[in-house]
Amino acid sequence: MTNPLLSVWDTPFKLAPFDKISDADFAPAFEEALAAHKAEIEAIAASAEAPSFANTIEAMEVAGEGLDKVLSVFFSVAGADSNPAREELQRDFSPKLAAHSAEISANKALFGRIKAIWDARDTLDLTEEQQRVLMLTHRGFVRGGAALEGDADARMKEIKSRLAVLGTEFTQNLLADEREWFMPLAEEDLEGLPEFAVDAARAAGEEKGAEGPVVTLSRSIIVPFLQFSPRRDLREKAFEAWAARGANGGETDNRAIAGEILALREERAKLLGYASFADYKLETEMAKTPDAVRGLLMDVWEPAKARAEADAAVLTEMMHADGINGDLAPWDWRYYAEKRRKAEHDLDEAALKPYLQLDRMIEACFACATKLFGLQFKALDVPLYHEDCRAWEVIRDGDHVAVFIGDYFARGGKRSGAWCSAMRGQAKFPEVRGPVVINVCNFAKGDPALLSYDDARTLFHEFGHALHQMLSNVTYESISGTSVARDFVELPSQLYEHWLEVPEVLAEYATHAETGEPMPQAMLEKVLGAANFDQGFATVEYVASALVDLAFHEGAAPSDPMAKQAEVLAELGMPAAITMRHATPHFAHVFAGDGYSSGYYSYMWSEVMDADAFEAFEEAGDAFDPETAKALEQHILSTGGSVEADELYKRFRGRLPGVEALLKGRGLAA
């Protein structure tokens, strides 16, 4: 019998036949499909025909179809519905996949063909999209080091493997420091802590084998402690330990590792011909240059610092009124900010929840997409990997657009967080095919299931990513949907969150589970007002981290990263009662791997864009303005990575984004 993962999927919409797949099918299908992909790549590389776009680039696009099928099913269940067998399979597959892609990018014969096509590109009469795919393929190989020869090639390999080792050490040291430290609490030290924080401290105590409750350095435990504990001495002790992670001396100290990583990154960028690591890293981003990143961050920094300083004065007065003299310290900020929040914006989560029913919020998500883009959603009855999954066919003007799957509830075996993935990406080559897109969340089950306000935002956020996949309209899959620059990919998702806050949406869909009454106006205003509370603090701690990250990777690598960090903060005039969100010895975004190195700015970059993009609707005087929605789909949601992100944004907005809308949204505008 043929393996169901590799057979022809003769099912509605060619969905994977989940009811026929068992765990025992994965390993044999994976081995067979991996071998088939290797053979296809080898055949392309060894072809006797002269290299052409069709026999090389298009051939690479269609290669690995079996592997795509196996992995789309496997990674869906491994992330959302795992079990020991699937975990074991993942441990087996991951290194094999990493070796497979490393082998492809190091294939000199294959690169030779790609380079020949690239060099002849002006004579080939390629479409705009073909030129783009060719450029991205060639650039990807070059950036990976495929064009290097001899000593440079050997050195690049050394650098890569040393960086992988250092990244792992950095992470493990950080984990060790976080595991090691805890602070026992006496019963009277629990005073002032809310029930959830007390429960968490007791559970942590049990886990550590302590006599009673403890504070640990896990963010979910220490932050509430700093927020609620009136014991200034204990807050100070806990904060100092938290701030010292990775910088405690001895075997787990990360400071020297950070220095070595920065030096190797600089060398790597120079081998590839870039002036600095930041230039190398930002080349593929919307921002493109270190100057563009700095410009945006500094536009936000000054207003954020001014707000933080004004807030510090208020909090200092509150502290003095408590009989504590002197200056506000970093371990005081969260405590007094929480007191202030309670006085000014107290929001009763328990009273809010019945207004946010999951099913009504899904309806709201869909209704906004109907109004904006004319999409209709028809429930489907198809076999999926878990009984909680629901599916809809997405239709426009009677035509099939996509299949959308929602897997909303938390359960054992599901990774934490929320995400969107395409089980099949949109493409028109080699044939037209609609995408299959899934949103996975971790909401508490209930009857009816109720959401917190954060949950509802998450629902809209992930659905924004789904729209980016579903409305994609390009030829080649490698550039479809969310295959865009990292600092651009959160634009559709964060932008979609804005429609949750459109008053008419909440008024229609936020109805009480029992009474059916719409949310009271006063509650609505509190919900919307709470969003920009204490944003001076949040913006300052974030932007300071992003600017230090950028400074580390521009120009020559600093010989002493801690001195460089101090220098950057001094130049900025960092407020005394606020520290970096992630200081160097525990800045895992930047040092655990390459993902966010000289890229920590990108969260803020996306937020600037989503605020500015939503303002296009506000300027049109209608959150559902049809012309603006049409432009959004035409220039951003349908285009995938077929055009540079900054060009796409200009086509949509007529200009690049400015920070004004973000400052207004965060309550930082003058």
Binding site for Zn ion (CB under 5 A): 493
H or E element that contains 342: helix 330-345
Question: Alpha-carbon distance 332 to 322, whole Å?
Answer: 12
Asked if residues 365 and 497 have their Cβ atoms less than 8 Å apart, the reply is: no
Least spacing, CB of residue 483 vs Zn ion, in Å: 14
Cβ closer to Zn ion: 80 or 540? 80
Question: Alpha-carbon distance 216 to 542, whole Å?
Answer: 23
Least spacing, CB of residue 79 vs Zn ion, in Å: 15
Nearest in space to 518 (alpha carbons), one of 529, 507, 527:
507
Least spacing, CB of residue 198 vs Zn ion, in Å: 33
Cβ closer to Zn ion: 493 or 511? 493
The backbone region for 625, taken as left when phi is positive above 0, alpha when psi lies in -120 to 50, beta otherwise, is beta
Question: Alpha-carbon distance 77 to 23, whole Å?
Answer: 10
- Integer CA distances (angstroms), 105 to 95, 265, 277, 554, in order: 15, 19, 20, 27
Asked if residues 316 and 547 have their Cβ atoms less than 8 Å apart, the reply is: no
Asked if residues 450 and 408 have their Cβ atoms less than 8 Å apart, the reply is: no
Sheet with 436-443: strands ordered across = 376-380, 390-396, 399-409, 436-443, 419-424
- For residue 304, give every residue at least 6 positions away whose Cβ sits within 8 Å of its Cβ, in sequence order, or none: 535, 536, 539, 540, 543, 666, 668
Residue nearest to Zn ion (CB): 493
Q: Identify the burial level of 427 via C-beta atoms within 10 angstroms of its C-beta, where 0-12 means exposed, 13-18 middle and 19 or more buried.
A: buried
Question: Alpha-carbon distance 205 to 63, whole Å?
Answer: 53
Coil vs helix vs strand at 132: helix
Cβ closer to Zn ion: 216 or 493? 493
Cβ closer to Zn ion: 235 or 465? 465
Cβ closer to Zn ion: 3 or 493? 493
Least spacing, CB of residue 273 vs Zn ion, in Å: 33
Cβ closer to Zn ion: 464 or 561? 464
Cβ closer to Zn ion: 493 or 639? 493
Q: Which amino acid is at 560?
A: D
HSE-CB at 667 with a 13 A cutoff on CA atoms is: 15
Least spacing, CB of residue 493 vs Zn ion, in Å: 4
Least spacing, CB of residue 129 vs Zn ion, in Å: 25
β-pairing, 390-396 with 214-216? Answer: unpaired
Least spacing, CB of residue 459 vs Zn ion, in Å: 12
- Integer CA distances (angstroms), 51 to 27, 140, 335, in order: 35, 18, 65
Say which of 61, 129, 178, 462 is annotated catalytic: 462
Question: Alpha-carbon distance 25 to 27, whole Å?
Answer: 6
Least spacing, CB of residue 461 vs Zn ion, in Å: 6
Cβ closer to Zn ion: 57 or 546? 546
Cβ closer to Zn ion: 89 or 500? 500
Cβ closer to Zn ion: 5 or 608? 608
Least spacing, CB of residue 472 vs Zn ion, in Å: 16
Cβ closer to Zn ion: 493 or 598? 493
Least spacing, CB of residue 398 vs Zn ion, in Å: 31
Angle between helices 26-45 and 65-80 (to 10 degrees): 140
Positive/negative CA dihedral, 482, 486, 488, 491: positive
Q: Which amino acid is at 364?
A: A
Tokens 């559902």 found at: 624
Q: Give the single-character DSSP code of 517.
A: P
Cβ closer to Zn ion: 227 or 439? 439
Asked if residues 134 and 121 have their Cβ atoms less than 8 Å apart, the reply is: yes
Least spacing, CB of residue 103 vs Zn ion, in Å: 31
195 belongs to the catalytic site? no
Nearest in space to 385 (alpha carbons), one of 72, 85, 65, 91:
72
Question: Alpha-carbon distance 231 to 226, whole Å?
Answer: 9
- Integer CA distances (angstroms), 346 to 162, 340, 343, 352, 522, in order: 50, 9, 6, 12, 12
Nearest in space to 582 (alpha carbons), one of 625, 546, 629, 535:
546
Least spacing, CB of residue 215 vs Zn ion, in Å: 31
- Integer CA distances (angstroms), 31 to 39, 99, 201, 438, in order: 12, 14, 46, 26
Enumerate the active-site residues: 462
